[in-house]
Amino acid sequence: MTKYLEIYNKYKFLLAQLVGRDFKTKYKRSVLGVLWSLLNPLLIMVVQYIVFSELFRWNINNFAVYLLSGTVMFNFFSEATSQALTSITGNAQLITKVYVPLYIFPISKVLSTCINLGFSLIALLAIVLIQGLSFNIYYLFIPFGLACLIAFSIGLGLILSSMMVYFRDTQFLYGVILTLWTYLTPLFYPESIIPDRFKLFIELNPMYYFIRYVRSIILNGSLPTFSDHMISLSFAIITLMLGLFIFKKSKKNFILNI
């Protein structure tokens, strides 16, 4: 861990530049610019709210907040990992010419997506106020849940970026997996409708726990249980450590395959 901290201190300026570049590139020549980070989750929520609350009529209290809290977190995860997936192959020209720690590229993609997450959380808080939900002291624990989500995304991003170098079909396969993952996560439907034979898939789903952690604070006004803390932290640390291990073993031959 000390080694990684030394690398960060040495290359933190480059990391900041990469994060800034990715964020600016996303909204280059866009009329509304960063406002899309606020509007996008709200517009998606409006569409999904109409479809799932009016057509399916699921009985979920404060459905708008329920829907947006899950969508914001899952959209961050989806975008962050998808961007990290192509971070090595997409920077092939720079990597072959200049030496920089390769970890920087997938990590910078996740961190740049965190900026969008920040704007999306502002939109979520606006909906919380509109719905009349009260803030409570437990909101101070939300950063813990988000930190676990970010660490989990970095770990998975490191794994995906390594796979992409050697197996270019990873990006297409991961697109299918993300679609399946979306429907296996209770974003727009209640947990109560899940048949018992499928509950194992939910219980093995890290995104379910990260989203449930934040929802319990916002919707229920309660502190997540000790088990919720430990499960979220375990998924985050194990995936991050596994990602670092796989990336370290794989990066030796990146230059020959990009």
DSSP string, 152-191: HHHHHHHHHHHHHHH-TTHHHHHHHHHHHHHHTS-SSS-G
Q: 191 versus 34: which is more confidently predicted?
A: 191
Token pair in block for residue 72: 């914001």
Q: What is the pLDDT of residues 42-56, one digit of tens each?
A: 677 677 666 666 666
**Mean pLDDT, residues 184-190:** 88
Contact call for residues 135 and 129 (beta carbons, < 8 A): no
Q: What is the tally of structural domains in the chain?
A: 1
Mean pLDDT, the chain, whole residue set = 84
Give the model's pLDDT for residue 101. 82
Give the model's pLDDT for residue 35. 66
Whole-angstrom distance, CA of residue 81 vs CA of residue 158: 9
Reference 86, options 215, 195, 174, 176; nearest CA is 174
Q: Return phi, psi of residue 40, to 5°.
A: -60, -55
Residue 1: is its pLDDT beyond 60?
no
Q: What is the pLDDT of residues 71-89, one digit of tens each?
A: 999 999 999 999 999 999 9
Token pair in block for residue 109: 């993609």
Give the model's pLDDT for residue 29. 58
Reference 111, options 29, 23, 205; nearest CA is 23
Residue type, 167: F
Give, rounded to a whole angstrom, the gap between the first and last alpha carbons of the chain: 27
**What is the pTM for the complete model shown?**
0.86
Contact call for residues 67 and 122 (beta carbons, < 8 A): no
Q: What is the pLDDT of residues 124-181, one digit of tens each?
A: 898 899 888 988 999 999 999 999 999 999 999 999 999 999 998 999 999 999 999 9
> What is the residue range of 68's domain?
2-257
Reference 152, options 238, 236, 55; nearest CA is 236
